[in-house]
């Protein structure tokens, strides 16, 4: 309990405490009540960051989960040749540290040196995955690559617990494979899908590593307020505005909790 209080409650309490103050270059530290919160709610940079990760959530997460589900079903179907190899190679990217993975993709994306430059040279195109209006999709691609395997494993484990006798009786009743998937498999792993979704929601809102590491390659496309976490980090380190950064962190925690809760409610409804 004491450990819980120290490692969990104390940082939260301290962050809330911090968010009620403001420390200025001229004027020093002062108590400002909820001023930082009203400021954040009117801060266009904060909203643009939140909007960006929301867009990311709405587009990238369904694509990634759908792909993970297809892969999990394919492996589970038992008709796949070299199933173990397939499973491991899909999961492998998750074992690569996100920092390394992003650096690797960064080298491929670079249109001055990497793979994209070679493609451009061959095809005479001027593709630039790090251009401002494309870079979010490029990040989505990295994240999908990293996390398909992880989500596939969650879904596959759930599928593996479904008793095979159910499939046998379905086949005897003349159900097609498609029917088995929609009538047995998907309802059976509904809980697992919900969990994978919640993880992905949290992950999207906390997007930090990928944009932060790609930034030196695309400093004009990835702003200092690209995602809420990047914004909090810039506020703290470049701007010395740790009080305001704490406020941003608290608001993001609340937003994430609310959305994750909504997903959970929807996922467990009428069960």
Residues of the shown chain interacting with other proteins in the complex, contacts defined by CB under 8 A = 11-12, 14-15, 18, 23-29, 98, 112-113, 131-132, 143, 146-147, 199, 202-204, 206-210, 216, 219-221, 223-225, 228-229, 232-234, 236-243, 245-246, 248-250, 252-253
Complex with other proteins: residue 69 or 230, whichever CB lies closer: 230
Smallest distance, other proteins to C-beta of residue 222, A: 9
- By beta-carbon proximity to other proteins, the closer residue of 14 and 261 is 14
Stated length of the chain: 271
Q: Dihedrals φ, ψ of 127, to 5°?
A: -60, 135
Contacts for 187-193: CB closer than 8 Å, 24+ residues apart? 188/158, 188/159, 188/161, 188/162, 189/155, 189/158, 189/159, 189/162, 190/267, 190/271, 191/158, 191/267, 191/268, 192/154, 192/155, 192/157, 192/158, 193/65, 193/69, 193/155, 193/267
Q: Give the nearer residue to other proteins in terms of CB position, either 169 or 220.
A: 220
| Closer by beta carbon to other proteins, 156 or else 208 | 208
Spatial contact of 127 and 121, defined as CB atoms under 8 Å apart: no
CB 99 within 8 A of CB 215: no
Q: How far is the CB of 188 from other proteins (least distance, A)?
A: 26
> Shortest distance, CB of residue 123 to other proteins, whole angstroms?
17
* 182 vs 220 by CB, closer to other proteins: 220
Query: Least distance in Å: CB of 269 to other proteins?
Result: 25
**φ, ψ for residue 42 (rounded to 5)?**
-105, 5
**CB neighbours (10 Å) of residue 55?**
13
Q: Which is nearer to other proteins, 73 or 232 (CB)?
A: 232
Residue 103, SS3? Answer: helix
In the complex, least distance from residue 28 CB atom to other proteins, rounded to whole angstroms: 7
Q: How far is the CB of 154 from other proteins (least distance, A)?
A: 14
């Amino acid at each position: 309990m004491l450990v819980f209080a120290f490692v969990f409650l104390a940082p939260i309490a301290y962050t809330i405490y911090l968010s009620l103050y403001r420390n200025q270059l001229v004027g020093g530290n002062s108590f400002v009540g909820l001023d930082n919160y009203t400021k954040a709610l009117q801060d266009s940079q904060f909203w643009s960051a939140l909007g960006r990760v929301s867009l990311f959530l709405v587009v990238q997460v369904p694509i990634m989960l759908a792909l993970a589900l297809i892969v999990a079903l394919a492996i589970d179907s038992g008709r796949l040749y070299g199933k173990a190899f397939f499973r491991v190679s899909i999961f492998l990217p998750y074992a690569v540290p996100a920092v390394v993975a992003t650096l690797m993709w960064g080298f491929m994306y670079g249109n001055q040196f990497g793979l994209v430059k070679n493609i451009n040279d061959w095809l005479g195109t001027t593709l630039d995955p790090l251009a401002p209006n494309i870079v979010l999709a490029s990040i989505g691609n990295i994240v999908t690559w990293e996390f398909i395997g992880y989500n596939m494993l969650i879904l596959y484990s759930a599928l593996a617990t479904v008793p095979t006798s159910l499939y046998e009786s379905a086949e005897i009743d003349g159900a097609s494979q498609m029917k088995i998937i929609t009538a047995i498999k998907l309802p059976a792993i509904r809980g697992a899908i919900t969990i994978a979704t919640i993880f992905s929601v949290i992950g999207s809102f906390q997007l930090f590593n990928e944009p932060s590491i790609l930034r030196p390659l695309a400093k004009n496309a990835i702003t200092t307020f690209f995602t809420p976490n990047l914004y909090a980090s810039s506020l703290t380190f470049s701007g010395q505005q740790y009080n305001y950064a704490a406020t941003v962190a608290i608001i993001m925690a609340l937003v994430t909790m609310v959305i994750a809760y909504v997903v959970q409610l929807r996922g467990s409804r009428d069960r």
